[in-house]
Amino acid sequence: MEFELWWLLAFPLFFVLGWLAARIDIKHLVKESRALPRTYLTGLNFLLNEQPDKAIDAFIEAVKIDNQTVELHFALGSLFRRRGETDRAIRMHQNLIDRDDLSDDQRLQATSELGLDYLKAGLLDRAEAVFTQLRGSRLDEFALKNLLDIYQQEKDWRKAIEIAEALPGHESALWEKEVANFHCELASDHLANSRFSDALTALRRALEMNRKSVRASMLLGDLHAAQGDDQEALEAWKKVESQNPVYLALVAERLMDAYRRLGSLEQGMQLLRSYLEKYPSLDLLDALFQWELQKEGASAAYHLVRDELQRNPTLLGLDKLLEAALLTAPAEQRMDIELVKGLVHGHTRRVARYRCDACGFKARQFYWRCPACGGWETYPPRRTEEFDLTP
């Protein structure tokens, strides 16, 4: 009985203590809110309601009232940059850096924001200088990632390789693929200028970084072909099958040109037929169709496409079938076939595109690097119709 009485006495005490604590918190909150400019709270309200233009106007007014609000300057600068007013964002962050009353952390943050402003404005040399200045600070990784972006935009592949290898986790599969592509870019430049020894060094380095680099094998074949060694070129291009057979369509023409130079066209066509049977591809079918048409004639090309269409029905395949049918059909039937082919071809224009796996951007030509999101090897050389037919 005595125990229960004590509890009855303690309960009101706890209630009173809780009430006092709440009063203290409320007073503190009211005091803090009164210390803030009213326009600041108005700006936050606009920002939360996704009205950035009105939020900026309110924040500008707040800065006029209390120009010592550093965080408000940061918020305002970010809003300017997001809205595309990079000149105002640059002035905002530069004024912050020039202030004497900024802490080291705040100055570092202002410097990083200024670098982003320059990057958004396309002033790559100034952005590079800012992010280089941040190297060795607590924002070192942030600076490295932005420098990597800058060097890729400038196509300065040597510096891109240096920065990528300085990033934490650069041994991962993702970075191996990217750095291998940087070496491939160097090799491609060397090949274009007939610097074969430098190209070979870059390609060996690319394959060391990523032994499954299809692009490196393709360029290695191009290098041997440029030096007149078609047999070595064929060996390099054939490696694509073991690396990633999806990319065989990209080397089909190279293979056939090499076999033609060696006087072994039939051997090359047999190889393409075996690839097509194992790895169905619209681009591979198109390459084989053209060579079949050239070497065996329209009838053989027609039967090739018809058999493939029965195995893998696609609009693009039907377009090829009608193209072959036009060459073999009697004169009185050609007008009707041309009419049907025109209708089918109009539809195939929408499905005969490549699509980025990362961002979904579509393009008529193949890219090693997506022009939209900047991802490397995110464009499988398969048409969108093939993706739609994949289970």
Q: What is the DSSP letter of 36?
A: S
* 250/200 Cα distance (integer angstroms): 21
Residues 6+ apart with CB under 8 A from 67: none
Supply the Cα-derived Rg of the chain in whole angstroms: 32
Query: 363: helix, coil or strand?
Result: strand
184 is in an annotated binding site: no
- The Cα-based distances of 329 to 225, 310, 326 in angstroms read 40, 20, 5
**Which of 252, 222, 253, 250 is closest to 236 using CA atoms?**
222
Phi, psi of 313, rounded to the nearest 5 degrees: -70, 120
Size of the chain in residues? 391
**What are 71's two structure tokens?**
């965080």
**Which of 347, 349, 376 is closest to 364 using CA atoms?**
349
**What are 12's two structure tokens?**
């009101």
Cβ atoms of residues 255 and 269 within 8 Å:
no
* 1/15 Cα distance (integer angstroms): 22
Residues 6+ apart with CB under 8 A from 74: 96, 109, 110, 113
* 337/344 Cα distance (integer angstroms): 10
356 is in an annotated binding site: yes
- The Cα-based distances of 340 to 216, 246, 324, 378, 384 in angstroms read 42, 31, 13, 35, 22
Q: Where are the beta strands (DSSP E) in the chain?
A: 354-355, 362-363
Which residues sit in the known binding site for Fe cation? 356, 359, 370, 373
Which residues sit in the known binding site? 356, 359, 370, 373
